[in-house]
Amino acid sequence: MELTLLTVPDCPNAAAFEESLAAALSGRPGAVVRCRVITGEREAAEAGMHGSPTLLVNGADPFAAPGKPPSLSCRLYRDAAGRTGAVPSVQELRRVLSAGAG
């Protein structure tokens, strides 16, 4: 499974996302997350970034809504109850990681 974390320079939510992702990856030895800083709209479009931070699992954004355009903006995630937050929950990350591994 290929994991890439896309962020803009100095993203205020990158560290929290990395912490949640590390917790979600516990028990998955050998998982490697590549981090990539995106600096322009064209680069965001080419990379598949839908706001910062974006996690790509095997090259796809599992949290992106269909038809959502690329963006360099700050990204918000919705939890199961519909509340917004700066990063997905550890449980949501585990769900998309399990789906990406299978």
pLDDT per residue as tens, the chain (102 positions): 899 999 999 999 999 999 999 999 998 877 889 999 999 999 999 999 999 999 999 999 999 988 888 999 999 998 888 899 999 999 999 999 988 765
Tokens 């997350």 belong to 33
- Print the SS3 string covering the chain: CCEEEEECCCCCCHHHHHHHHHHHHCCCCCCCEEEEECCCHHHHHHHCCEEECEEEECCECCCCCCCCCCEEEECCEECCCCCEECCCCHHHHHHHHHHHHC
What pTM was computed for the model?
0.92
